[in-house]
Chain A
């Protein structure tokens, strides 16, 4: 963290000279225009965070729903899970985003529905869908790591399927699921940058727009990377804290 900050500072300082290559004035907080630009860029942070949090929340629920059939004894039911995971996991995010944003409204229209998809929800649907295949696999692995005998014992004391999941299997699986799930959240934050191409006003979009008017891609994109870096490092610290907390009561 310290190294990164000092590197960034060094980069910034080197631009303070009157070199042709560097033009840090575009994001110089000491000048009025630089400060306006910085505010413009950082203002995308809220949208990036909101996008990521909502998409991740949906993905966490959707992933569990997709994972449950994979635990069935019946091949036909397991196939539902395999089908979903294999298809959704195979589609790259950007084409899926285009399909949802430009294609899905046409599907709705053909069904006689007038549902508009704005960039915000288009991005959320895409991120959540795309991520849910991965969270489903995380759930599956976590739940399968709980010995079969646990579910059998729950059955023999009369618990039904949902009670067995709720009181016996999930509480044990959650400790193994949470760290990789939190990891997946970092992935969503980074992938949310794709929302810029359909006009969502988040961090990357703002940087792009400023580059178009200021012609200073190096400085602006450098700042953009630092913005993501700060965001992700904060989440990483949270994930590590979570892992420590989970690990500490792993006993028994």
Chain B
């Protein structure tokens, strides 16, 4: 039996008195492509942020590559070396060039030489199809280009799992597909990923597991076929009806 890439067992989380996650159970095997959807405030971003411990959960167990996440330095190390993250707001470093954005992690956290780090950076910039922008500042790029740089920045750490937290929600409509194309390619290459998104066409194309969340709970999981064609829960049906209406 292969080790699960991500394992969440009965995870609870509160923000103050408000319970954002209620008994979350989720297993992601190597190579899995999980898409999480649900109305805003349903806790889907929090799930992703708990997986890489940008937020700490209060109850339950989260394992990354078999390592229990307890906030210890060793456990954090496991996350940082295995899990990459792409944010809704890109979060590129505005004071650094695209190239410097990409080599910062490999050089400072991994101790790579500048030459090796730059070679690797160029490889991933080519993969997201913007090698010619390497010397520009993030502010000189379009939103879609910035998000592709952010994806390349994560890839430079060569993670085993990629987390995407609404990667296209801050983009103008005409730029959404250029970012989704890159993510689809990654999926086709076998990258394990967890994607929070409202892009249902994209979900149908890449997901092998759909997760629907509402009010902090996982309401329904299933294959894309079952999920889109025969949703079991009423809440899922209502959500899909709304989101697919237009």
Asked if B81 lies at the interface with its beta carbon under 8 angstroms from chain A, I say yes
| B residues in contact (CB < 8 Å) with A | 52, 54, 80-81, 83-85, 87, 89, 91-95, 104-105, 108-110, 137-140, 150, 153-154, 156-157
Among A19-27, A31-39, A56-64, A151-159, which stretch is in contact with chain B? A151-159
A158 CA to B109 CA, complexed, in Å: 5
Asked if A172 lies at the interface with its beta carbon under 8 angstroms from chain B, I say yes
9 closest cross-chain pairs (CB), A and B: A157-B105, A158-B109, A252-B139, A153-B91, A149-B91, A252-B137, A156-B85, A158-B80, A252-B94
Chain A positions within 8 Å of B95 at CB level:
171-172, 252
Contact A155 B80 (CB under 8 A): yes
- Looking at B89, B94, B137, B156, which has the most chain A CB atoms within 10 Å of its CB? B94
A154 CA to B83 CA, complexed, in Å: 13
| A residues in contact (CB < 8 Å) with B | 147, 149-150, 152-160, 163, 167-168, 171-172, 251-252
Q: A149-B87, A153-B87, A156-B54 are in contact. List 9 more A-B contacts (CB 8 A).
A: A147-B89, A150-B93, A152-B91, A153-B150, A154-B93, A157-B153, A157-B157, A159-B109, A172-B94
A83 CA to B95 CA, complexed, in Å: 33
Contact A153 B92 (CB under 8 A): yes
A168 CA to B93 CA, complexed, in Å: 7
Given contacts A156-B52, A158-B81, A252-B140, contact A150 B104 (CB under 8 A): no
Contact A155 B54 (CB under 8 A): yes
Contact B80 A167 (CB under 8 A): no
Distance from A142 Cβ to chain B, minimum over Cβ atoms (Å)? 14
A147 CA to B93 CA, complexed, in Å: 11
Which one, A149, A150, A157, A172, contacts B109 given CB within 8 A? A157
A167 CA to B116 CA, complexed, in Å: 20
Provide 24 A-B residue pairs closer than 8 Å at the C-beta atoms, listed in order of the A residue.
Answer: A149-B89, A153-B87, A153-B92, A153-B150, A153-B153, A154-B93, A154-B104, A155-B54, A156-B52, A156-B54, A156-B80, A156-B83, A156-B85, A157-B105, A157-B109, A158-B81, A158-B157, A159-B105, A159-B109, A160-B109, A168-B93, A171-B95, A172-B94, A251-B139
Distance from A250 Cβ to chain B, minimum over Cβ atoms (Å)? 10
Chain B positions within 8 Å of A160 at CB level:
109
Given contacts A159-B105, A251-B137, A252-B139, contact A153 B110 (CB under 8 A): no
Distance from B170 Cβ to chain A, minimum over Cβ atoms (Å)? 11
- Looking at A147, A157, A172, which has the most chain B CB atoms within 10 Å of its CB? A157
Chain A positions within 8 Å of B85 at CB level:
152-153, 156
Chain B positions within 8 Å of A167 at CB level:
104, 108
A154 CA to B80 CA, complexed, in Å: 10
A120 CA to B214 CA, complexed, in Å: 66
- Looking at A156, A159, A172, A252, which has the most chain B CB atoms within 10 Å of its CB? A156
Chain B positions within 8 Å of A149 at CB level:
87, 89, 91
Which one, A147, A158, A171, A252, contacts B105 given CB within 8 A? A158
Chain B positions within 8 Å of A157 at CB level:
80, 104-105, 109, 153-154, 156-157
Chain A positions within 8 Å of B104 at CB level:
154, 157, 159, 167-168
Contact B110 A158 (CB under 8 A): yes
Task: Identify the closest chain A residue to B137 (Cβ).
Answer: A252
Distance from B156 Cβ to chain A, minimum over Cβ atoms (Å)? 8
Which one, A150, A156, A159, A172, contacts B108 given CB within 8 A? A159
